[in-house]
Amino acid sequence: MKLEGRVALVTGGGRGLGREIALTFAREGADVALAATDAAALEATAGDIRALGRRALAMVTDVADEAAVGRLAQAARAQLGPVDVLVNNAGIAGPTARVDQVTLADWDRTLAVNVTGAFLCAKAVLPQMAERRRGKIVNIASVAGHIGYALRSPYAVSKWGMIGLTLTLAQEWGAHHIQVNAISPGPVSGERIERVIRDRAAGTGRSLADTEHEYLSKLAIPRFVDPAHVAATALFLASSDSDSVTGEVIRVSSGYGLS
């Protein structure tokens, strides 16, 4: 039980990677606050956490809204206790288009959710962590934060920004015994990558099969990433096993882009 007695806050916790991470944490003893914009998905995940014998809080929250994030942090502390672990997982794919075809509204929204949201959530919980001189922040970045990513400029920029935020927070808060790290997943199996492939196929006029092959051909291990492997890495970074690890970006990517 690596997280016994700990309180975790997982954004984007209703489905996909966020759900997998939240349930993994609960199995390891954590009580979990969940934030996302889909109320039904949040409640389903919260119900599964409670079935594991842990406490859960589900709050519909737009992480790009500072007031909403403040309410989330206050509610988590009041109902579960001070936040020990923050997982900044909330994110959107953004548009699939060349830069000259990306609207300012789409650009702004992608960066607002993907990187400003992480900044606001960290800002909201860091004082709680500093009070107790302990804390873990795990930012879910992407291999898109290490490469150029044609037709996905807002998403790539947001993930480069997430990595920069990670390294900066690690420097700022290390003296308070707070560790800040990031995970850069490659294409993760599930609804998100299926949607990305559909959008990319539509945007390029290529077939779904050819577009899927484009992604698979860049993997050293010829399969999409298992969400459970990302969650296991998040568990390591959230637990005391990583107390000497900070400012690191761990790729869980099936070797995306190595060749």
- CATH code (residue 34): 3.40.50.720
pLDDT tens column, 129-154: 999 999 999 999 999 999 999 999 99
- What's the pLDDT at 59? 98
pTM here is: 0.94
- Residue in 149, 155, 215, 256 annotated catalytic: 155
Residue 209 is part of which domain span?
A: 188-224
Residues 124 and 205 in one domain: no
Q: What is the pLDDT of residue 190?
A: 83
- Up-side HSE of residue 18: CA atoms within 13 Å toward CB? 30
Q: Is 87 helix (H, G, I), strand (E, B) or coil?
A: strand
170 and 150 fall within a common domain: yes
Q: Is residue 246 part of a domain?
A: yes
Is there a domain that residue 257 lies in? no
The tally of domains found in the chain comes to 2
Neighbours of 20 (CB within 10 A): 24
The span from the CA of 217 to the CA of 142, in Å, is 18
Beta-bridge partners for 10: 34, 87
Residue 39 shares a structural domain with residue 153: yes
Q: Which two tokens stand for residue 29?
A: 């003893």
Assign 215 to helix, strand or coil: helix
Is 155 labeled as catalytic in the residue annotation?
Answer: yes
Residue-wise pLDDT for 96-140, tens only, equals 999 999 999 999 999 999 999 999 999 999 999 999 999 999 999
Residue 30 included in any domain: yes
In a domain, residue 168? The reply is yes
Q: Looking at per-residue confidence, does 197 or 85 come out higher?
A: 85
Q: What order do you get walking across the sheet with 7-11 strand by strand? A: 56-60, 31-36, 7-11, 85-88, 135-140, 178-185, 249-252
Are 161 and 60 contained in the same domain? yes
Does residue 1 sit within a domain? no
